[in-house]
Amino acid sequence: MKKIGWITCNKSKLGFYFPTKEEPNLIPTEPPFTPDDQLAVEALRSKGFEVCAVEWGCDLKSLSTFDLLVMRSPWDYMDTTDDRENFLNWIQDLEQAAIPVENPAGLMRWLLHKSYLKAFEAVGVPIVPSTFLSKDEHADQVLKPFIENEEPIVLKPCISASGKGLFYIRDKKDFMEQRDAIESAFKQNDYILQPFLPDIKTAGEWSLIYIDGEYSHAVHKLPGQSSILVQSEYGGTARAKEPPEDIVSFGGRVIQSLPEAFFKAVGQTLQTLLYVRVDIIPTQSGCFLAECEGVEPQLYFRQKPGSDMKFAEALLARA
């Protein structure tokens, strides 16, 4: 029997995500496993694995009994600046201790900072136009030319997830109302500035899930009526749906470009990954890569029957 350590967060954090307005009965049955992860855990157990939850940040000595770790739902790492730094350091400790983990620790550290998008752009993958802002820059000075254009913009922390720390600025008045909060945020995090793409309200966002390097399934997300965020915890919806051919083609292009982008940025080669989720925003100008997620994305096993078993079989081959 192989023993798998399933890296997740403190179970108290799951109350923020579940249940949702869209799925009021979606409640974790074995926390801290999320409802989605529970499906994969049961599939692994059916294959003879022992699967135990591991809260990130634990003492590495406690991991010696595991044959393999799987990073899945460390959803509280972005709660504070200290948590973000501790999470990055913990992943680096895993790498230095050569503890087997999927996805590879080096790749996860790279993907945790949204500046990785520049590497994709450098190998020809269109990304949402992005300006990267360093921590401690003065918001007034940096944002002034964008604010004066009177065009809506979005500010996201470079290390974050689930819309945490995001600012949506419609115009100069909106900026002035959020100014103090933005100035405070700039003292704690690097930020990425992007134009607001109105297509997100109508065309939404596609999430394509790849398991063991192969396209598995997709969900189509739309924001809630009074939000720009597609996450279900903010009122967004995620429906299983087969994407148009141009979306599938674009997702494949991202997956094919990933090893080259990673090598050019980090200087390391990359083997086939256990899982990747590619988030794509379709616009009238074409598709843009919003995120390439290989650390903590929902993989929507419940939307695609059999995908949990596909995940288990990919892990079986690795273990």
154 and 259 both lie in a single domain:
no
| Number of domain units in the chain | 3
Among residues 140, 161, 195, which one ends one of the domains? 195
Going by C-alpha positions, the residue among 80, 87, 56, 73 that lies closest to residue 164 is: 80
Residues 90-101 pLDDT 10s:
999 999 999 999
Q: For 214, phi and psi rounded to 5 degrees?
A: -115, 145
Strands 131-133 and 191-195: antiparallel
CATH number at residue 68: 3.40.50.20
Domain end residue (candidates: 145, 160, 195): 195
SS (H, E, C) 142-207: HHHHHHHCCCCEEEEECCCCCCCCCEEECCHHHHHHHHHHHHHHHCCCCEEEEECCCHHHHCCEEE
Only one residue has tokens 């450098």, namely 122
For residues 121 and 234, state if they share a domain.
yes
Omega before residue 32 within 30° of 0, cis: yes
Residue 219's CATH number: 3.30.470.20
Answer yes or no: do 85 and 210 share one domain.
no
Cα 193 to Cα 12: distance, rounded to the nearest angstrom: 32
CATH number at 145 reads 3.30.1490.20
Among 86, 195, 193, 191, which Cα is nearest to 136's?
191
pTM: predicted TM-score of the whole model, two decimal places: 0.95
Q: Which of 180, 195, 210 is the last residue of a domain?
A: 195
Q: What is the reported pLDDT for 190? A: 93
- Both 122 and 248 in one domain: the answer is yes
Tokens of 12: 């108290």
Looking at the fold, whether 160 and 230 belong to one and the same domain comes out as no
Residues 100 and 52 in one domain: yes
Shared domain check, 212 and 286: yes
Do 235 and 278 fall within a single domain?
yes
Determine contact, residues 110/117, Cβ cutoff 8 Å: no
Dist CA 72 CA 74 (whole Å) = 6
pLDDT at position 1 = 59
**In terms of residue numbers, what domain contains 67?**
3-109+299-318
- CA 313, CA 311: separation in Å to the nearest integer? 5
| pLDDT reported for residue 21 | 81
Say whether both 161 and 178 belong to one domain: yes
Flag residues of the chain having pLDDT under 70.
Answer: 1
The reply to whether 7 and 86 lie within a common domain is yes
Same domain, 264 and 309: no
Cα separation, 210 vs 207, whole angstroms: 10
122 and 263 within one domain: yes
What are the DSSP calls for 125-148, one per residue?
A: --B---EEE-TT--HHHHHHHHHH
